Structure 1
Amino acid sequence: MADVDPLSERWAPAQIEVMQRLRDWAIGFGELHRHLAGWMRLPVSDAHALGQITWAAEAGTPLSPAELSRRIGMTTGATAILLNRLEDAGHVRRSRESSDRRRVTLRPTPAAREQARRFLAFAGTEIAATLRAAEPEELRVVTAFLTKIAEATGDANRRLGQGPASGEGP
C-alpha cells in the first residue's frame, strides 16, 4: 500500500479531472443499469445481476452463483433468491457444465440475451461509436490505466474486506 493520504495530498488538476470523469462514468453506467431494468421490467438488482451473467457468458467465462454474489455485493442467500426470480421469469438458467457436478454455471436464456441485445442496439450506439472512433493507441493507454485503477480498487476492497486495523475505522 502506498504511503499517500488522499485527504491531505495535493492533487494536480489533471488527477482531479480523471477522478471526476471516472465518477461521471460510474454514475452514467448506473443510470444505464436502471434503464435496462425498466426495459426488461425487472428490479434494478435483478437487471444488474442479469447484466453480469450476460457479459460473463458473452466473454466465454460464465459465472457461478458465488462469483455473481461477489460481483453484485449480495450475500449468497440473497443471490439465490434473486436467481430464483430470474430463473422463474425465464431470464437465466443454471446448469452443471463442469466435471465437478457441484459447480453451477449461470447463463442467460436466448430470450433474455435477445432483449439485452435489443437494449444495447438502442442504448449503446453512442458508446459503440466512441469506441470505434478511438485510435488503437488511445484504447491501449486507456485500457492500461483503467486496469491499474481496477487493481488499486480491488486492493482497497480486499483490505476493507479484512476489516480495519486496530485503531482505524469506526
Structure 2
Amino acid sequence: MTQRWVPQTDHDHLMMEAMKAVRAFTDAMDRMHGDLRGDMGMNATDLAAMRMLILREQRGELVKPHDIAKHLSITSASTTKLLERLEESGHLQRLPHPTDRRARIVVLTEDARAEFYRRFGERMRKMRGAMSGYEVDELKVVVRFLSEMEEALVGR
C-alpha cells in the first residue's frame, strides 16, 4: 500500500504548495470547460476534440482522425461518431490530406474557430493580465514547470 507523502523540509512544503496550486488551477480549468460545454451545447469529448484542434492548429500541425482518437483515448467508431456530430453541427470539416491522397485531415470551420475565440477571448485576456506582472525569466520557469507537469501526467 502506498503511504501518503508528508512534506519534511522547506523544499517539500513548497512542492506541496505548488501541487495544491496546480490542483486549484486544474479545478478552475474544469469549471471553465464545464461552462463552455454548456454555452456551446457540447459534451466533454466534443469540447476536448475542439481544444485539441485549436492547439494543433496553433502549432501548424495537421490532424487526422486517428490523432483525435489517440488524444481522447477513444475507439475509431467513437471517433467517427464524434466527427460526424461536429461536422453536422458546423464545427469541423474533414478534408483530403494535402500530401497523402489516401488520408483525410480534420479542420475547424471558420465559424467554429471564431466562436471558440469569442468564448475564450475574455478569459484569455484575464490570464494575460495575470501574467503581465512576471519577468521574462519567471515566465520561462512557469513554462518549464507546466511542461514538466504535463510530461509527468501523460508520460510522453
State the TM-score, normalized to the length of structure 1. 0.78
Question: Which position in structure 2 is the counterpart of 1:143?
Answer: 143
Letter in 1 for 2:70: R
User: Is 1:20 aligned to residue 16 of structure 2?
Assistant: no
Question: Which position in structure 2 is the counterpart of 1:130?
Answer: 130
Aligned-partner Cα distance in 1 for 2:5–2:38: 42
Instruction: Report the alpha carbon displacement of residue 59 of structure 1 after superposing the two structures with TM.
Output: 2.4
Aligned-partner Cα distance in 1 for 2:63–2:28: 25
1:133 is paired with a residue whose SS is coil
| Structure 2 portions without partners, runs of 5+ | none
Aligned-partner Cα distance in 2 for 1:73–1:24: 25
Instruction: Report the alpha carbon displacement of residue 8 of structure 1 after superposing the two structures with TM.
Output: 5.3
| Residue deviations 1:93-143 (CA, integer Å, cap 9, x gap) | 111233222332211100001101111123333212123332211111111
Aligned-partner Cα distance in 1 for 2:44–2:4: 36
Aligned-partner Cα distance in 2 for 1:43–1:146: 26
The 5-angstrom pairing of residues 84-103 of structure 1 reads 84-103=84-103
Instruction: Report the alpha carbon displacement of residue 9 of structure 1 after superposing the two structures with TM.
Output: 4.6
Question: Which position in structure 2 is the counterpart of 1:165?
Answer: none
State the TM-score, normalized to the length of structure 2. 0.85
Instruction: Report the alpha carbon displacement of residue 36 of structure 1 after superposing the two structures with TM.
Output: 1.6
| Structure 1 portions without partners, runs of 5+ | 159-170
The 5-angstrom pairing of residues 144-159 of structure 1 reads 144-155=144-155
User: Is 1:72 aligned to residue 72 of structure 2?
Assistant: yes
Q: In percent, how many aligned pairs have the same letter?
A: 25
Between 1:128-137 and 1:81-90, the stretch displaced more is 128-137
1:94 is paired with a residue whose SS is strand
